[in-house]
Amino acid sequence: MSTQGVDLDLELVKKATGEMYQAIENLRLSVKAVDSASDAARAGWKGDANASFVTTSQAWSDESDRLNQKLDELTQATEDATQTILGMDEDAFIPGGGYTSL
């Protein structure tokens, strides 16, 4: 009879999850920085240039909202995947590597 399992390093899973969360947070900070720069620059535009900048700034704001929604979805997917992996039946794990057969 053959027994098969999955070789999985749970610490690496946790580390990868942490790195994913950090990457998502870095993206959020970048989006926020562009939002802040846009807000700060808005007052400097006058006349027709102001109207054009406001239109462009609003388009960016809408895109920023969409990006943040996607980052929320990515965060949730990362959390779900991590919980699925960490919640797997540990009897299926084979420490030290690969498949075994008895």
What values do phi and psi take at 6, rounded to 5? -115, 130
Q: How many domains does the chain have?
A: 1
Task: Kindly state whether residue 75 falls inside one of the protein's structural domains.
Answer: yes
**pTM for the structure as a whole:** 0.71
Which residues span the domain enclosing 34? 10-84
Is the pLDDT confidence value at 94 over 70?
no
pLDDT in tens, 14-51: 999 999 999 999 999 999 999 999 888 888 888 899 99
Query: CB count, 10 Å around CB of 85?
Result: 15
- Could you write out the DSSP letters of every residue in the chain? -----B---HHHHHHHHHHHHHHHHHHHHHHHHHHHHHHHHHTT--HHHHHHHHHHHHHHHHHHHHHHHHHHHHHHHHHHHHHHHHTS-GGGB-TTSS----
Q: Residue 43: inside a domain, yes or no? A: yes
Residue 17 domain flag: yes
Assess if residue 4 is contained within a domain: no
Q: Does residue 66 fall inside a structural domain? A: yes
- In tens, the pLDDT along 57-77 reads 999 999 999 999 999 999 999
